[in-house]
Structure formats: C-alpha cells, structure tokens
Amino acid sequence: MFCNPFDGQGEWYKANLHTHTTVSDGKASPEERVEQYRAQGYSVLAITDHNVSSEAAHLSTEDFLVVDGAELSPRDFTEGRGYHLACINTPPGRRWVNEGKYANELISEVRNAGGEVFIAHPYWCGDNILDLLMLQGYAAVEVFNSSCIDGGKADSTVHWDNMLELGLHVAAVAVDDTHSGLKGGSDLFAGYTMLKLSELSLAAVMDCLRNGRFYASCGPEFLDFRVEDGVARVRCSEVKEIRLMAWRYFGRVQRAERGSLLTEFEAPVGDRWRYVRAEIVDADDRHAWTNPILV
C-alpha cells in the first residue's frame, strides 16, 4: 500500500531521478548538470551514469540534493534485448557488472546496498507485459522518459496500466534521462517527479520513494487526489482534461468546454474499479500522473 502524498505534512520538491553526465555518455559534467537543474528550479537530482555509480553527492547544498546512482542494463532475453534499470542511492564509484547477471539479481544487489530501482523506459526497451511480470523488488516504473521523445516512445502509460490490470500495485515516476549538453535538447526539463518530503535529505527522499509519496508530471500540477466515501476527487492546476483511470474499461473522463479549463473533478468509484489513478492533460498536451489508490 502507498501513502497518499496529499495527506500529512511536508513540502513538494521537484526531482529528476535519471540523469547522465560525461562519466558515461552524457554531454555535460556532473558539476554542469547540477547547475543546469538548479537553475531550472529543481531541488533533487539523481545522477545515473551507465554501469558506474556516480560520485557526485558532495555537490549537494542546503537547498539542492544530489543523489548518487547508476543505470544498469542486464540482458535477460535470448534475442539480445533486455531491461534498463535506473538505480538511485548506490555506493559511490561502484562499477556494476551486468554480463551474466539477471535483472532480479541486480535489483537485489542495489537494494541490499541501500538503493532503489526504477524500470527505465519499458516502451523504448521493447519490454512486454510478460517481461515486466518477471521483475521483482523495484520501486516504480518510468511512465514518461524525455530521452525517448525523439524516438516516439517516451510514454509508457499502457505498460504501467497493463501491470496494474494484473494486480501489481506499481508506482510511476517521470524522468528526463538527460544526455544533452549545455545548449539543451528534447531530453531536458520535460519529465520530472514531485516528491512530498518532510525535509530535503537523502533519508527523506528514499522514504518518499519507498512509500509512494510522489507524483509524475510533464508540466501540470496536482493539488489533491483522494478516494473517500466511494468518491474520487481531483484538484489541480488548469487543464483541459481530467481522467480517472481504473481496472479494464472502468473510469471517468471530464473534458473542459471549448474556451475554458478545469481545476477539479469528482466522480463515484464503482465496486469493480479495483484501483483508480488520476491523470491530467493541460492545454499544451502535457500530462501528469498520480500513483494508484486501491479501492
């Protein structure tokens, strides 16, 4: 069960949880990457270069948290494809061996070292629902990944919904997976995760991710989402569409009339919905997603 981030105390902090630098195939140094995101109003940045844990946590300041991480690429499939795993809070400087290891083995290694794992860009990787059902112990799936925009496969919502359909209570994050340099590109500042934190600290971030106190966005803002007395309620920034997504064909959608926008919606939740998550779409077609609530 996840905690509802719209309940309880805390402040919202903007985070990018998947980032590359010149330590692997990124085009900005760790120092440059930190300054890029600080200048854009972010508060948390996880640096996740390929197969080696970053050593950048020392770049943190009182108002900006840098988290060491890595991206791992185990090959569990005979046809040469496999998973990508975005890992955060990994031991600094550790080099990870993918070859000969299954994804679940690597997930266990990361968690035993105090970290957590996200399933990275499953649509781009070609992962189907059978592939995703094999994975265990991860914290969330990337519902949106900016690095995949130019390939047309940035949005993995259907993969996430397929997992929810089968009873996996999976959280979702949105990330940049940045590789661009200082002049920018489509993989900068397009997807992020809003974390509800008691304080800006590594311990608070990890607790937040383990308990689902966050939502994913490309721009719109959630102000509240809850299910009480058989009714789902959403409050948000101005959007053109609010969706309540549930099991199979259940759910509700509210669309704004031409020339107007929405900031709230509520609808009864049926006995057969099983779960409900909220999704909003703003006037620029940017989406945001809450984690699911079991009903």
| 276 in Cβ contact with 246 (< 8 Å) | yes
The burial of 79, by beta-carbon neighbours within 10 Å (0-12 exposed, 13-18 middle, 19 or more buried), is given as exposed
Instruction: Provide the CATH number for the domain formed by 222-294 in this structure.
Output: 2.60.40
Please list the rounded mean pLDDT of every run of 10 residues in the chain (295 residues).
90 98 97 98 98 97 98 81 94 92 95 98 95 96 98 98 96 98 93 98 98 98 97 98 97 97 97 96 98 96
- For residue 130, what pLDDT is reported? 93
Q: For the chain, what are the domain ranges? A: 11-217, 222-294
* pTM for the model: 0.97
Contacts of 46 (CB under 8 A, 6+ apart): 15, 16, 17, 18, 19, 66, 67, 68, 69, 86, 88
Give the distance from CA 178 to its chain's centroid: 14
- For residue 80, what pLDDT is reported? 63
- For residue 1, what pLDDT is reported? 66
CATH for 11-217, among 3.40.630.10, 3.40.50.2300, 3.40.50.300, 3.20.20.140? 3.20.20.140
